[in-house]
Amino acid sequence: MDLKTSVVSAAAAFLAFVVSATCFAQADPASEPAVLAVAKVLPAVVNINTERVVRRTVRDPLDDVYSQFFGYNRFRPREVRQTLQSLGSGFIIDPAGYIVTNQHVVERAADLKIHVTAHDGKTYRAHYIAGDDKTDLAFIKIDAQTDFPFINLDDISPNLLGETVMVVGNAVGYGSSISRGVLSAVKRNITVEETEYKDLVQTDAAINPGNSGGPVVDLSGRLVGIASAKMAFTPQGLPTQGLGFAIPADVVRDSVNRFKQVAMKQGKLKGTPAPAGPGSVRVEKLFGMQLQDLSSELSDALGYLRRGVLITAVEPNSPAEDAGIKRGMVVYRVNKSDVSSVGQVEESLRSVQSGASVDFAIGVIRARGQDHELAALSLTAR
């Protein structure tokens, strides 16, 4: 075998290895966009259990007979108390624990006990702040002083026809349930129990009892809308399939802003801490990467070792994309400093100006002793 043939064979073998490795990486379920999106939003989704006491007057049917023939009732009517429970979903939109859900999930809130169960299994009491029957949206708050993961309403989905969407929530009492479909239509008007809802988005992703109030998100984890209703039959009584409806994200965002104004006037809106989640401002401006803290839930879902900061999005034609950085990778080091939160990355970049070169250690370290891939990259700030 001559030298030329040897070189060609070696190159072909190397190319086959690269293609095989690339296909293997693409086949890894942990890198699927849907898996990453669910891992991103699931910690902010809650199950809502409401309890309301109803008083009813009960009388013996034979009393009517006595009253008719003898002119009096044998017994006075009795009052009984009945506890009614309902289940639904919601999601946290602020690190202080403010939640948006459907109004019908927490209606008649003055008589309600509201219990919220977070993704980690912890249960909290919550109280009602404001709501709107017309949009079927409500605003409640967890009674706890701690920071919560949240879904950012400042970055919502463009709601494009045909995009993949996922419904996340408490389907038929099973928490953390996911269904998947596409965005079928926008600006749908429907009537449910003589109430008309306008400009809803339509999806064929399954919406079941208990999903009401839960988020519908796209493959980037951005809010598409709030699951609201499923149409099982047409007005003519014909059965339907794949007709679910959600309140669009822009309506949710505008309603929350209005609820906050009401709460401020009532003195119910407390000061909220700065976002601890996707608030990666400088790293996005300088390099085109969006980051998120790598929580234990995210680490478990992705099979990663709990270290570093997760890259949730890479801007096209940015320094990050030009360097081959992909969504789902993890930032482990900035210059000479190890990082484990978005805040630490931002602090490391505080004095970086346009044109400066910054060294990163980026890749994936998997848990349970699996192989890991790391690369040392030098990016120039734009």
Catalytic residue among 104, 119, 220, 255: 104
259: nearest Cα among 49, 146, 101 = 101
- Which residue is listed with tokens 């669910």? 38
Catalytic residue among 157, 177, 184, 212: 212
Provide the 10 A C-beta neighbour count for residue 276: 16
Our answer to whether residue 212 is catalytic in this structure is: yes
Tell me the pairing of strands 330-334 and 337-338. Answer: antiparallel
9 bridge partner residues: none
The beta-strand segments (E) located in the chain are: 45-58, 78-92, 98-102, 112-117, 123-132, 137-142, 164-171, 174-192, 195-203, 215-218, 223-230, 244-248, 289-293, 309-314, 330-334, 337-338, 357-364, 373-380
Q: How far is CA 253 from CA 5, 42, 137, 284, in A?
A: 64, 19, 11, 23
Catalytic residue among 94, 136, 218, 293: 136
Nearest-Å Rg of the Cα atoms of the chain is: 27
What does the alpha-carbon distance between residue 97 and residue 116 come to, in Å, rounded to a whole number? Answer: 11
Q: How far is CA 29 from CA 33, 113, 151, 303, in A?
A: 9, 40, 23, 10
* DSSP 3-state of 331: strand
Q: Are 48 and 105 a contacting pair, CB within 8 Å?
A: yes
Give catalytic residues, as residue numbers.
Answer: 104, 136, 212
